[in-house]
């Protein structure tokens, strides 16, 4: 950053500043002597206006005061209130994302980014790109979302790491939704290690990262790490005031409680998150709470309530046009419908999700909801097996296997190998069945762990 500008300002070249001083002095009918006195000489003002000298911070303050403007406007040509106005409009765009469709909010964020670039406001540009990335996550454009979050990290490269944490969290979420679970964990863990090693024990940043790591850990079958992340998040919570962060923490902790079979506690944690999201009017996250409560009820065997909660989540997400999340919740709703005996309804939900289409049609596939794509094939396999169509069931099981293996979803792979092995054994293909069982056992060899490196160190509490 230039040393001679006002704090937080990146000044123009001396020629542009000089032209601005000359124009404003002429408009106000001042002579060079009137502008200069008592601190400077007319010769200095002449040199300044000709662009032969870059004004010091003190000179900028003096000249700006005499011209009735601000040092920032004199140095950059932009109104002093512009940055504050952009930040206010970024808040409005965030509200639009929370309550409306991601495409509509994305339009606002793109316009704000353009304005921030035009006026050379990197912090506000980063805020607009961060919001745009979140919009793209909801709509399922994961590759573009990653680009946005990566651009934020570049813009803030010289800022403290804590400023870049929301972008790291966003990029990790995009990789997780793409099925790249191991890389999502790597991003979050290395950032946690860097924060703790550098002594940047910011509670908000740490809570955001520990909460974000729970889902990919559980998807990989790393329950021990997920439980530890939840413990650390809970320990940090009393030091955090942001209700949105706390709501996200409660939602993440509920995932670990579900995995541990502590269903009542999970539902209580989700109720806390739901209450906070209702207060904040954040519809997408509120829908995720209904989604997870549906999952809790399904795990507890209360399928009627599970169906109700999942239908509510689906309706809320569809109304916001959050395409990828809507498709994912439809897979879990289909599972509940199948278990309730509504097989045709389940099949009608699942088949369109796996229909081959154009790259941007929003269908689940590798690189876009891979784990749920595998789950959809698994469910269709169960349905086909139930109706006696063993060949079609095997086809779906085999289609699901590479999707889940590529995502490192160890628990899901093990369960799928059991289903496929049982089908092969029942149809007389014993050797193939044994090979399939061995594959599944390999993924279950060390339950609750992962082949990632050492777990990140915890912060001092």
What is the chain's pLDDT, residue by residue, as a tens digit (461 residues)? 344 444 444 556 888 889 989 988 999 999 999 999 888 999 999 999 998 988 888 898 999 899 888 887 788 777 767 777 888 899 999 989 988 889 999 999 999 999 999 888 899 999 999 999 999 999 889 999 999 999 999 999 999 999 999 999 999 999 999 989 999 999 999 999 999 888 768 899 999 999 999 999 988 878 888 888 999 999 989 999 889 899 999 999 998 988 888 888 888 899 989 888 888 778 888 898 999 899 888 888 899 999 999 999 999 999 888 888 999 999 999 999 999 999 999 999 999 988 744 444 447 888 888 889 999 999 999 999 999 999 999 999 999 999 888 888 878 888 999 999 999 999 999 999 999 999 888 765 444 444 456 667 666 65
Q: Report cis status (omega within 30 of 0) of the bond before 38.
A: yes
Distance of CA 320 to the CA centre of its chain: 17
Contact indicator for 333, 356 with CB cutoff of 8 Å: no
Contact indicator for 181, 369 with CB cutoff of 8 Å: no
Cα 389 to Cα 81, 382, 403, 431: the distances in Å are 68, 10, 22, 21
Exposed, middle or buried by CB within 10 Å (0-12, 13-18, 19+), for 199? exposed
- End-to-end Cα, the chain, rounded Å: 36
Q: With the CA atoms of 60, 66, 70 and 73 taken in that order, what torsion angle do they form, in degrees rounded to the nearest 10? A: -70
Beta bridge partners of 368: 365
Model confidence pTM above 0.85: no
Q: What is the DSSP letter of 365?
A: B
What count of Cα atoms within 13 Å lies in the side-chain half-sphere of residue 52?
Answer: 6
CB atoms near residue 236 (< 10 Å): 25
Tokens standing for residue 418:
């059991």
Query: What Rg do the C-alpha atoms of the chain give, in angstroms?
Result: 28
CB atoms near residue 340 (< 10 Å): 14
């Amino acid at each position: 950053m230039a040393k001679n500008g006002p704090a937080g300002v990146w000044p123009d070249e001396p020629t542009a500043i000089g032209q601005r001083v000359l124009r404003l002095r002429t408009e106000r009918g001042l002579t060079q002597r009137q502008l200069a006195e008592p601190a400077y000489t007319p010769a200095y003002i002449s040199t300044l206006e000709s662009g032969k000298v870059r004004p010091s911070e003190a000179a900028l303050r003096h000249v700006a005061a005499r011209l009735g403007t601000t040092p920032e406007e004199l140095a950059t040509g932009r109104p002093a209130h512009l940055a504050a106005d952009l930040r206010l409009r970024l808040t409005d765009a965030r509200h639009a994302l929370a309550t409306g469709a991601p495409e509509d909010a994305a339009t606002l964020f793109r316009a704000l980014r353009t304005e921030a670039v035009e006026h050379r406001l990197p912090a506000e540009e980063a805020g607009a790109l961060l919001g745009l990335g979140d919009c793209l996550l909801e709509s399922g454009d994961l590759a573009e979302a990653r680009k946005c979050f990566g651009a934020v990290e570049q813009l803030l490269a010289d800022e403290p790491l804590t400023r870049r944490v929301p972008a790291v969290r966003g990029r990790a979420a995009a990789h997780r939704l793409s099925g790249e679970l191991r890389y999502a964990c790597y991003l979050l863990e290395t950032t946690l290690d860097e924060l703790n090693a550098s002594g940047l024990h910011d509670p908000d940043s740490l809570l955001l990262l520990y909460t974000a790591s729970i889902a990919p850990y559980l998807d990989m079958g790393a329950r021990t790490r997920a439980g530890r992340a939840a413990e650390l998040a809970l320990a940090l919570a009393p030091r955090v005031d942001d209700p949105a962060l706390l709501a996200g923490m409660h939602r993440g902790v509920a995932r670990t409680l579900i995995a541990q079979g502590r269903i009542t506690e999970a539902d209580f944690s989700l109720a806390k998150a739901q209450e906070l999201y209702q207060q904040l009017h954040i519809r997408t996250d509120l829908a995720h709470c209904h989604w997870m409560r549906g999952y809790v009820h399904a795990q507890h065997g209360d399928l009627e309530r599970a169906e109700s909660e999942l239908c509510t989540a689906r309706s809320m997400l569809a109304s916001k046009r959050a395409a990828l999340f809507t498709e994912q919740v439809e897979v879990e709703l289909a599972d509940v419908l199948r278990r309730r005996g509504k097989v045709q309804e389940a099949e009608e939900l699942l088949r369109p999700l796996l229909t081959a289409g154009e790259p941007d049609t929003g269908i689940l596939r590798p690189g876009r909801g891979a784990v749920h794509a595998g789950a959809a094939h698994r469910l269709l396999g169960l349905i086909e097996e139930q109706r006696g169509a063993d060949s079609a069931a095997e086809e779906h099981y085999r289609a699901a296997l590479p999707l889940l293996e590529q995502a490192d979803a160890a628990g899901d792979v093990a369960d799928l190998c059991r289903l496929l092995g049982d089908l092969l054994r029942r149809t007389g293909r014993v050797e193939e069945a044994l090979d399939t069982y061995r594959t599944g056992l390999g993924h279950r060899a060390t339950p609750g762990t992962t082949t990632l490196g050492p777990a990140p160190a915890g912060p001092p509490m």
